[in-house]
Structure 1
Amino acid sequence: MVRLIMQEIENPPQDARDDDAYVLDRKDISAILYAVDIDDKAKLSELMDPLHAADIADLLEQISSFERARLIRLYDREFDGDILSELDESIREEVLGVLTPQVLAEAVRDLDSDDVVDLVEDLGTTQQDAILEVLEDSDRAAVEQALSYPEFSAGRLMQREVVMAPEHWNVGDAIDHLRSAPPDDLPDQFYHIVLVDPRLHPIGNVTLGKLMRSPRAVMLTDIMEDVFQVIPVDQDEGDVAYAFNQYHLISAPVVDGEGRLIGLITIDDAMAVLDEEHEEDIMRLAGVGEGSLSDRVIDTTKRRMPWLAVNLVTSIAASMVIAQFEMAITQIVALAVLMPIVASMGGNAGTQSLTVAVRAIATKDLTGANVWRVIRREVLVGLVNGLIFAVVMGLVGIVWFGSPALGYVIAAAMVVNMVVAGFAGTVIPVVLERVGVDPALASGAFVTTVTDIVGFFAFLGLAAMVLL
């Protein structure tokens, strides 16, 4: 059996190889680690240089701490700042501790201000100071200013490098400015020119595509984008990501309390936030919280233990319901066989409704205007599914145990629990969101408790009334 599993790992089927198109090849990883083992810096550079920074970050996350330190020391001055940006936060601090001050300085100087902020905001004071010290005065001031804004706000997400133009310029003025500006005054990549009034209030965006294909005499205000969103500096980053996704933005200017332009957010940063929020919701729905595969056992245990404890309490509550019908279960052993089915089906149905509701809340699709329509739909879905599986379980009760009455009881209990599951799976996250509790974090325990208790009570209660 072990040999078969190893063969599958070494020679995965074609479908698996297609799924791993963007995963580092095991042979490449082995070759890189061998180069480290024999201390061959030239070979290591030859293997690492073609890799994207994100792939190098994945490599560092997948190998052991000992191998990681040896690789970084050998790679040395070729270590790029983009690698630090791509690293998982769980090992970023460890990697920074291995880098020499000279290598760290060169790596950080190449990063945009928003990437530097993302790099240092979760570090300790000592490492923050070490990174800030290697920055030029203007860059250090920009990063310190960004760190003064609330965590998870647009101010933390924005970059200070912005290409702007006065509203009275024409296309020729803008092109001449871009061509004559020193390279260090322009970002490496940008998509828009932000038009501003004399008070530095942004009034519109001009795409580089429109700029390059328009005659020089055309005013910039005549070729502004139709869609233009301004982001307040204190806006929550989740709302920023929603705006980018909702309005298909590429970049958006960030303004201070007086509406003056102070920075820019680009789509890559907004989508990174959206991806993090989706991942966070999935992890919280499973009760495992934030974390990564690189975390220590003790840290992972601490995150998971509270929700396992909550689950233990809810399981005891469900067991107390079962205990009320101990006599019925003793007299009719079939009840003990069938009651987990009712609870399990209700739990699965509740989880389905819960997942849809939490996702809709996160994307702002579930609002006060349509909440009752969504609840009604989920209840009706639960009713229809309940009726379908009620027929199936009714037949099981009759054929398996030879008792039509038992079949009727489990069929009725199935309908009741599936309807309640659809209702609870939608209402509970909505109520939690209204009272300020993250529905992704707390809904699962409540929904499971409701479906277990209702399922056991409906099935055993009806059995006690009908069969005894």
Structure 2
Amino acid sequence: MRDLPETIDPPEHDEAGAHMETSVPTAGPDTPVSELFERLRGQRFKSAATVFVTDTDDRLLGYVRINDIIAGHDGTLADIMAPAPEAVTPEADQEDIAALAMRLDMISVPVVDDAGRFVGAVPPGELFRILREEHFEDLQHGAGISPHEDGPAASLHAPLLDRLRRRLPWLVFGLLASSLVTMVMVGFEEALAANVAVAFFVPALVYIAGAIGSQAVSVSVRALAEEKIAIGKLLRDEMIIGLGIGVSLGVLAAGGVQLVFGDALLSLAVGLAILGGGAVSAVVGFALPWTFDRLGADPALGSGPVCTIIQDAASLAIYFLSVSVFVM
């Protein structure tokens, strides 16, 4: 039961060493539970949610949650401890800490040095901060906002020009790439002029494509964070889900168009556009972060803006092609 030594080198903001506490309760496996309970009385630790069990060389053997100790037991810590969980090093990225805590349902994540010796733990309060920060970072990445070197929270208080610089690049790209959508609209100018009702459904098609694509991007980014996830299987699943969503929404939309406008061919064109656009959006939204990752780029950064352009152009092209075939 001691305060563990502090790390020598100052850790980076997003490393485990910046979040861990060294003042944590530790004990040997042969320590009687009743004795440990008495030893804990009157002591104050920076984090006491978990007692970590170590050997004489400070190597982590297991852990016991404080509520199990309070419950009382006649044996030793070896009788009630959980086996040593996976641990992180002081240099581990905070994203790995959050993933490990969620995967193993841990309230404190142990930190070990290169020799496997226990040096501290990331306590519950810090885990909540990390999860909040990672969530904030994912939201920024999905919007195409470049990360701040001092963490996402720092970007809220950064100078105005710095914040502008981090948000503008992908939006400029989106503005330039939106010419692709304009070209699609111009290419089917005759269809719009021939039947003004054709234009009524453009906003809905763009929205549906964007919503499906955004969901697929989120699934893809989360899948890439899990090392054991089979991307190929998930891509196949997203294709099936995209088709299922497209069929469901296409039938609903076609029925609504037929009910309001009484135009069966226009209804068919709208239904096919939603079906095709949904399938394309699901595949593109899922595959784009995966492609970024394979190219060595951040899979989340910019996926949203790029995906939006592709899926909007694709869904409108499918729509106007359907209109040209069935309505004109």
Class of the TM-score when normalised by the shorter of the 2 chains: 0.7 to 0.9
**In 1, are the aligned partners of 2:253 and 2:270 still within 8 Å (CA)?**
no
2:172 pairs with one of 309, 324, 327: 309
The answer to whether the Cα contact below 8 Å between 1:375 and 1:426 also exists between their aligned partners in 2 is no
* Larger RCO (alpha carbons 8 Å, 6+ apart): 2
SS at match of 2:253: helix
Output the CA distance in 1 between the equivalents of 2:57 and 2:311.
59
1:32 match: none
* 8 Å Cα contact 1:321/1:453 also seen in 2: yes
Which residue is 1:343 aligned to? 206
**TM-score, normalization by structure 2:** 0.81
Structure 1 residue 190: Cα displacement: 0.9
- Mapped to 2, the partners of 1:320 and 1:246 lie a distance apart of 47
In the alignment of these two chains, the number of paired residues is 319
Q: Secondary structure at the match of 1:351?
A: helix
Specify whether residues 369 and 466 from structure 1 end up closer, same or farther in structure 2 by C-alpha distance, changes over 3 A only: closer
Residue aligned with 2:52, SS: strand
Structure 1: gaps (5+ residues)? 1-137
The residue type equivalent to 2:217 in the other structure is L
**Aligned counterparts, 1:351-370, within 5 A:** 351-359=214-222, 361-362=224-225, 367-368=230-231, 370=233
Identity of aligned residues (%): 26
Which is higher, the Rg of structure 1 or of structure 2?
A: 1
Where 2:231 maps in the other structure, the secondary structure is coil
Q: Take 1:465 and 1:176, find their aligned partners in 2: how far apart are those partners?
A: 83
Bigger mean CA offset, 233-242 vs 366-375: 366-375
CA distance in 1, matches of 2:71, 2:289: 50
Gapped runs of 5+ residues in structure 2?
A: 147-151
Residue 96 of structure 2 corresponds to: 239
CA deviations on 1:182-239 (whole Å, 9 max, x unpaired) are x6xx524412322222221111123334434546x73221221357343233332212
User: SS of the residue aligned with 1:198?
Assistant: coil
* Alignment-derived partner of residue 152 in structure 1: 14
The corresponding residue for 2:239 is 375
Report the CA distance between 1:273 and its aligned residue: 0.8
Q: Say if 1:460 and 1:227 are closer, same or farther in 2 by CA, change over 3 A.
A: same
Partner of 2:149: none
After TM superposition, the structure 1 = structure 2 runs for residues 296-445 of structure 1, keeping only pairs within 5 Å, are: 296-359=159-222, 361-362=224-225, 367-368=230-231, 370-371=233-234, 372-396=236-260, 398-399=261-262, 404-445=264-305
Name the one with the larger helix percent.
1
2:297 maps to a residue whose letter is V
- Structure 1 residue 434, shift from structure 2 partner: 4.4
1:453 aligned residue (309, 313, 316): 313
Counterpart CA distance in 2 for 1:404 and 1:390 is 8
Q: Distance in 1 between matches of 2:266 and 2:130?
A: 52
The Cα of 1:438 is off from its aligned counterpart by 3.2
Cα deviation 1:360-400 (Å, max 9, x = unaligned): 5556795437412343223322222222213323444x44x
Match of 2:26 among 141, 151, 164: 164
Contact 1:314 1:445 in 2 (8 A): no
Deviation string, structure 1 residues 45-99 (Cα, Å, up to 9, x no partner): xxxxxxxxxxxxxxxxxxxxxxxxxxxxxxxxxxxxxxxxxxxxxxxxxxxxxxx
- TM-aligned CA distance change 1:207 to 1:467, over 3 Å: closer
Q: Is the 8 A contact 1:379 1:419 kept in 2?
A: yes
**Residue 349 of structure 1: SS of its match in structure 2?**
helix
Distance 2:98 2:119 in 1: 19
Counterparts of 1:213-224 in structure 2, within 5 Å, are 213-214=71-72, 218-224=75-81
The answer to whether the 8 A contact 1:428-1:443 is kept is yes
Using the TM superposition, give the Cα deviation of residue 346 of structure 1 relative to its aligned residue in structure 2, in angstroms: 1.9
RMSD: 3.3
What are the Cα deviations for residues 157-201 of structure 1, in whole angstroms up to 9, with x where unaligned? 212223222334334553565469xx6xx5244123222222211
C-alpha contact 1:162 1:263 (8 A) present in aligned 2: yes
Change (3 A) 1:451 1:208: closer
8 Å contact from structure 1 (residues 413, 458) kept in 2: yes
Query: What corresponds to 1:274 in structure 2?
Result: 131
Cα distance in structure 2, aligned partners of 1:277 and 1:355: 14
